[in-house]
Amino acid sequence: MTKILLFGYGKMGKMLEDVINSSSDCSFEGSIDIEDLKNLEHMGKVADVIIDFSHPDMLRPLCEYAKRTNTAVVSGTTGYTEADNAMLKELSNSVPVLYSSNYSLGIAIMKIVLAKMRDLIPDDFDIELIETHHNKKIDAPSGTAKALLDVLDEKEEHKKVYGREGMCGAREKGSIGVHALRGGTVAGEHTVVFYGNNEVLELTHKAESRRVFAEGAVSASKVLANKEAGFYTLSDILQS
């Protein structure tokens, strides 16, 4: 039985609680939101894993508590600075830490497959990436699209072209086109297209509900609870 404590209790936090309570092999041990941080000073170890979908302002108290109580951390909070990322890496010297901007297991598999495809696709194929999200999303491209770009261009050799307009000329050889679509209530869709001569290869992932991210985080927490201290990706957990 994996005991889970939540950091952050917004929409995702409530969805995580529901997923945890629906699982037979983990238990919900409570939640900490930003107004509860003062309680951490006198709070001992209550869980095996912290799942963090909160706010960057909660990171330092989270790290201090996790290190003091030797509690693993699964984090999906976005908006971290380089200093914040360094703080998480420092924490991983003491406890197991998993960070991902997307907890869909399908996206984790997509990244593994793309890494293999990247080495097989001929250099003369053109690559385009299209991501679609709901009309409330305020940033573009998505964090997941950026993560997919990191896989496609591991050595940072390709120019990124973010949309096209006007007389932009012929497609630049070796570039990667990136396009963001916004509309409706789409939870998240990501497609990578490889265009060759007289053939097209597409790889697509569609998230039909945000619940898939909560389910992925809970599944990952069960694995991370038994890991040694270190910094992990979702692909690491999936292949362990």
Inform me whether the pLDDT recorded for 96 exceeds 90. yes
What is the phi/psi pair of residue 174, to 5°? 85, 0
pLDDT for the residue numbered 17:
97
* The residue to which tokens 């945000």 are assigned: 210
CATH assignment at residue 150 = 3.30.360.10
One domain, residues 17 and 78: yes
pLDDT for the residue numbered 166:
94
Residues of the domain holding 179: 105-207
Active-site residue set: 133, 137
Nearest to 11 by CA among 216, 211, 223, 215: 211
Inform me whether the pLDDT recorded for 238 exceeds 80. no
d(CA 183, CA 180): 10
127 and 192 in contact (C-beta within 8 Å)?
yes
One domain, residues 93 and 165: no
pLDDT for the residue numbered 41:
86
One domain, residues 79 and 148: no
User: What pTM was estimated for this model as a whole?
Assistant: 0.79
Among residues of the chain, what percentage have pLDDT more than 70?
Answer: 100
Mean pLDDT, the chain, integer: 94
pLDDT for the residue numbered 163:
92
One domain, residues 97 and 112: no
User: Is 126 in a helix, a strand, or coil?
Assistant: strand
Mean pLDDT of 149-166: 94
One domain, residues 7 and 71: yes
One domain, residues 140 and 219: no
Mean pLDDT of 104-109: 89
- Grade residue 73 by pLDDT with cuts at 50, 70 and 90: very high
CATH assignment at residue 94 = 3.40.50.720
Mean pLDDT of 19-46: 93
Inform me whether the pLDDT recorded for 159 exceeds 90. yes
pLDDT for the residue numbered 235:
81
